[in-house]
Amino acid sequence: MEKILKEEGEAHLLLTLRCIRESAPNAEALSSETIAAVSDVLAQRPDWHERTDELLAIFDRIDLEALRERALRLRPWPVRGTMRAWLYLIMERLMDRSNTLAMRMSEAA
């Protein structure tokens, strides 16, 4: 976490930890690979930081520990990198769907 704090800053680290700790299925998913993978995805998509409520809701739908266990079975592939790729694809699909729905609702208003 020190590396994330140093490279990405306090706000980024806090958001990373909130996404994990404040989601029902992931509150205890605090392995170094998991924290780093979530941080990597959030660093890649700073535009999601402004959509905190959606972001936190999406983490309620993702089982990070299940992703990590599956990534562990794929060793010697790097666990963090495997999780990062899967997590990015899942989140991109869910965040884009959420954004499309929000846009449709604002157009209808």
pLDDT in tens, 42-88: 999 999 999 999 999 999 999 999 999 999 999 999 999 999 999 99
Question: What is the pTM for the complete model shown?
Answer: 0.88
Backbone angles phi, psi at 29, to 5 degrees: -85, 70
How many Å apart are CA 53 and CA 36, to the nearest integer?
21
**What secondary structure does DSSP assign to 42-80, as a single string?**
HHH-GGGTT-HHHHHHHHTT--HHHHHHHHHHTTTS-HH
